Structure formats: C-alpha cells, structure tokens
Amino acid sequence: MLDENAIAEALGAVHGPDGKTPLPQSGAIGGLTQRDGKVYLSIVVDPAQADKAEAMRKAAETALRGVEGVTAAIVTLTSERMPGAPPAHNHGHGHSPAPAGKGAPRRVPESVAGVRNIVAVASGKGGVGKSTVAANLAIAMGQEGWRVGLLDADVFGPSAPRLFGLTEKPKVEQSFLVPLLAYGVKVISIGLMIEEESPVVWRGPMVMSAVTQLLREVAWGELDCLVVDMPPGTGDVQLTMAQSAPLAGAIIVSTPQDLALIDARRGIAMFDKVSIPVLGIIENMSYFICPHCQGRSDIFAHGGARHEAEKRGVAFLGEVPLDMAIRETSDAGRPIVAADPDGAHAAAFRAIARALIGRLDAPRRAAPKITIG
C-alpha cells in the first residue's frame, strides 16, 4: 500500500484547473485509486478547458511518479465524475465522454475512429444462426470489396473463434488490441481471450465495459463496415449495447416459423424504441434441399420473415437455406462463403451483402451541422 499522505502531498504541489488552488483542494479530483504501486487519478475538467488542462495532467503525473513506491502513474482528464474506481486499463473510459483533451493522444472519439458503418446483427432469440449469418455476411461483404471487421459481442456464447477457426490470442500494441485476420475479415471476440470451455458469467456492467473495450480499444484501422454480432435476445444487455455503439442500423436474423418471428418482432421493437433503424431482416434456415433427392422441404415453413418484414415496413435482405454444408463448414472454422465461394450458399450471402451495402451506401440526407458555443 502506498502512503496516501505522500500522494496527497505530491499532488498539493500541482495547481488545479484554476491555475492556483492546489489540486487536492480544488475539488477537481474525480477519482484516485492505487494498486500494486500503480496510481490512477482522474481530474474533472470543463471540456472547454481540456487543452489548457493537459499541462496540469502532465504535472500531476510527474508529481505522482515522484512518490516513493509508485511504479506507474496514470492521470486522465474527464468531464464527469466516475462512480468508484477508474478502470485498471490505462487509457480513458471508452464510454465516458471524457474530452480527454486533444493533447491526450489515445483519446478515441465517440464514433469509432476509421469505421464508416457499424451494423449490429441481432436476433430476438438464440439458435437462429445469427453468428453464422454474421460471419458469412462479413466475409461476403469483404468479397464485394469492402473492408470489413467483425466484433463478436456475444459475450454469453462467443462463437467467432470457432467459426473463423481462430485459436491464437490477439496481440496488444500500444494498448490497442490487434484484431486477427481471417478470410479477409478483421475479427475480435471475447472468446479469443478466454477458454472455449470455460463458462462466462457476466453481470450487466461487466458486459458493458467489455463491449466498450472491444469496440473502442481495438486497432480496427480503416473499415467500411464493422459487423457486430450481438448477444441473442432483447434484454437490458442488448439494449444498452445497442445504445452505446454508434450504429448505422441493425439486422435481424430469424428463422421462418411463427415462434421465432414473435421474437424477431421483439427485436425490431427494441431497436425502434431506441430509434435505431432496422436495416432489414434475414431469413435463416429458410428451406432445406435434400442432398439425396434434391427435393425441397420448408422445414420451418418458409417466407415468414419476408412477410413479417413487409408487415413492419422493414426491408427483407434475403434468405439462407438450411444446409448440412453450412453447419459443417461453420464448425470446421471455414465459413461456407469462404469454403465454397462459388456455391449456392455463398451466392445467397453475397446477394444479402450487396443488398446491405446498397442500403449503407444509399445517398443519405446530410446531417445538419452542429455548432457548439
């Protein structure tokens, strides 16, 4: 444990935001925590003063490093008071509006830097093949010439590592995670950080901070589209997640039977509630072609999702047949679009990818200019 008095004393030599009151007395300290010789301090500043505050931030850091026993000191500027401790990672709080100053090099703006579109792939319930669709859609968009990333945010059942056949742990460079490249898609998944068999027990707030990190602390580089594989369902976690990422829109995956469509409807309603446009519905397991007799069976009925989409005034993006090959290639870590790019399934996914690209690229009405001050 470090000597708190020594820390307070060291900070006393630093002037607060007003330039004269000692920092500890200025009321600007938002949070101070320490662990194993590392000190994390957040200073609350007026966003407008962020530039000027950078000198104060540096001074505080230097002062803390001078305290005996301190091995590292990280000082961040924030515009809000963090309840409790700042996170243990060393830069910013992705979700905080921290105008951490133009001087702070690692500040990531609200929109994920370099990413043009973020699209959530969601489903009202589990088991409809959402992750398989998300993976194949991402690869198909890549084949159409887009630069694509996939963020597996299904923290309860991350499946991207299996789907893409990834086993290595992502590297960290300059405190950013480097996504793994598979089939032309940059992939990051919580599943890459944990063992496949170990169960993940997540409480809501943990999910949020994990997802925020996956979104903002990954070196995505320039992307035309980041596909986010959402956890299934329409609960609080999904809702908060949808709201915390600057989404261009959401895609709902459903199977055609009524029971699944009820949940798909919930999914649409959820996004409606928070004003996120639904870009379209994809019908998965739409029909089954018998590998022996080539006869077609509508196992889960057929066309339900298309009908539902029409009813809700939402675009129908396409249908994907139920096929052994999709299951096999998915489990084998070679998604069908990559494994059999000339096959019927790949064609189905590419048609969907083109429809989606068309929607994302559609000329939009320019958003108005926002002036502050």
Binding residues for another protein (CB under 8 A)? 47, 79-81, 95-97, 99, 110-111, 236, 239-240, 243-244, 246-249, 273-277, 279, 313-315, 358-359, 362, 364-373
Nearer to another protein, 276 or 326 (CB): 276
Cα separation, 79 vs 66, whole angstroms: 26
* 362-to-28, 116, 173 alpha-carbon distances in Å: 46, 13, 35
How many angstroms separate the most distant Cα atoms in the chain? 85
Nearer to another protein, 65 or 312 (CB): 312
Other CB atoms within 10 Å distance of the CB of residue 353? 26
Q: How far is the CB of 201 from another protein (least distance, A)?
A: 23
Q: How far is the CB of 28 from another protein (least distance, A)?
A: 14
Find where tokens 């998604």 sit: 335
Closest CA to 252 of 312, 338, 337, 189: 312
Nearer to another protein, 32 or 247 (CB): 247
Q: How far is the CB of 32 from another protein (least distance, A)?
A: 18
* 280-to-82, 179, 230 alpha-carbon distances in Å: 38, 27, 15
Reduced to 3 states (helix: H, G, I; strand: E, B; else coil), residue 23 is helix
Nearer to another protein, 44 or 138 (CB): 44
Cα separation, 169 vs 171, whole angstroms: 6
Nearer to another protein, 46 or 222 (CB): 46
Nearer to another protein, 64 or 227 (CB): 227
Q: How far is the CB of 43 from another protein (least distance, A)?
A: 15
Cβ(199)–Cβ(235) below 8 Å = no
Residues 6 or more apart from 321 whose CB is under 8 A from it? 285, 286, 287, 288, 289, 344, 345, 348
Q: How far is the CB of 318 from another protein (least distance, A)?
A: 15
| Degrees, nearest 5: CA angle 306-310-311 | 115
Nearer to another protein, 277 or 343 (CB): 277
Closest CA to 93 of 226, 208, 194: 208
Q: How far is the CB of 241 from another protein (least distance, A)?
A: 10
Q: How far is the CB of 370 from another protein (least distance, A)?
A: 5
Find where tokens 């249908």 sit: 319
Beta strands in 205-333 (DSSP E): 225-229, 249-254, 278-283, 288-289, 296-297, 316-319
Residues 6 or more apart from 46 whose CB is under 8 A from it? 17, 79
Reduced to 3 states (helix: H, G, I; strand: E, B; else coil), residue 50 is helix
Q: How far is the CB of 302 from another protein (least distance, A)?
A: 23
Nearer to another protein, 247 or 348 (CB): 247
Q: How far is the CB of 210 from another protein (least distance, A)?
A: 17
Nearer to another protein, 140 or 309 (CB): 309
